Amino acid sequence: MDSVDFDALEGQARERMLPASFAFCAAGADDEISAVENITAWRALRLRPRVLNDVAAVDTSVTLLGDRQPHPIMIAPTGRHKLFSPEGERATARGAARAQAPYVMASNANVTIEDVAAERRQAPQWFQLYYWPDRGEVEALIDRVAAAGFTALVLTVDAPTGGWSPRAAREQHEPSPDILNINMPGSPMARTFYHPDFAGRVLYPATWRELEWLIKRSPIPVLVKGVLRADDAVRCAECGVRAVIVSNHGGRHLDTTVTTAAVIGEVASALSGKAEVYVDGGIRRGTDILKALALGARAVLIGRPVIWGLAVDGAQGVTAVLDHLLVELVRAMQLSGTASLKEITPDLLAP
């Protein structure tokens, strides 16, 4: 697989997917403004490289939640991977392990938690959680996740109800007993938010009260995903959250939000020393990763490109996407005169 040009990779993936599967993967909310601007915002930032520094040996290692990792690239939680590959999330987890990348498994996966855990090797696995109305079901799930060896919970907080995507709504999946949200209560057949049955319904009613309870109840660290404001990020840290993921859900729910590139610096500055900060949304190049780190992110999460790799070449496709981004990051670091992540500072970006 040639992943040098992710636009080309997306085209290859589209050829292999059913139209409804591609629509689900590609969809942004409403006019898809945020989905597009997430990408262009990183591209618009300009680098100011240093020169004459020794970059013969580059160190991309980073500490995430106290554990040393070989690089700062993770897989973002995305659901329903059997729409893209017969093995579903099992292949994604295997690809992540080969690339030594932390994998954040989605609540609405089509493969069991235990089957994904079996692919772990040495790479961390975290679990993305939606908070359901029945607290007992949430408790049972987080205990199951911890028992399977997952080392963090990632609570998604920016989608109490679904957004609307005209593109995805026009290409609805037919419910199939072969594709279930198998870890969710009742293992429902996999429908998406973009179905009229879900319009306006609050499905995941998490509030600050539920977050405080979850942090006390969870046997593993809790992160919050979906924060775009410094004040919310600080309050999350004060509740005991170990890390915050700056995210606008890939532009899939509320259109015309700020881009993640626009706010990561503000959030990172507000959280300095209080909690770790990660970012997702529109990252397509090693230079994008360099820019995110310069703005204060400790790591980045990759969503759609991983799905493209999965659709084209299964687990090997996932690994190829992650490995390619790491190669690009190393090259970007060398060309900007930075030999380690601690040398990637805000002055590398033009004001």
pLDDT recorded at residue 224:
98
200 has a pLDDT exceeding 70: no
Architecture of domain 6-338: Alpha-Beta Barrel (3.20)
Q: How far apart are CA 287 and CA 300, in angstroms?
A: 12
Tokens of 276: 């770790």
Residue 294 has φ and ψ, to the nearest 5°, of: -65, -30
142 has a pLDDT exceeding 80: yes
8 Å CB contact between 317 and 9: no
DSSP state of 126: E
Q: How far apart are CA 249 and CA 266, in angstroms?
A: 18
Annotated catalytic residue, options 71, 249, 253, 324: 249
50: how many CB neighbours lie within 10 A of its CB?
14
**Is residue 249 flagged as an active site residue?**
yes
pLDDT recorded at residue 190:
64
CA 23 to chain centre: 18
Please tell me the least confidently modeled range out of 62-71, 154-163, 254-263, 323-332. 154-163
203 has a pLDDT exceeding 80: no
195 has a pLDDT exceeding 90: no
The phi-psi region of residue 306 (left if phi > 0; otherwise alpha if psi is between -120 and 50; otherwise beta) is alpha
Query: Over pLDDT 90: what percentage of the chain?
Result: 84
Residue boundaries of the structural domains of the chain: 6-338
Q: How far apart are CA 215 and CA 199, in angstroms?
A: 30
Residues 252-271: tens digit of each pLDDT? 999 999 999 999 999 999 99
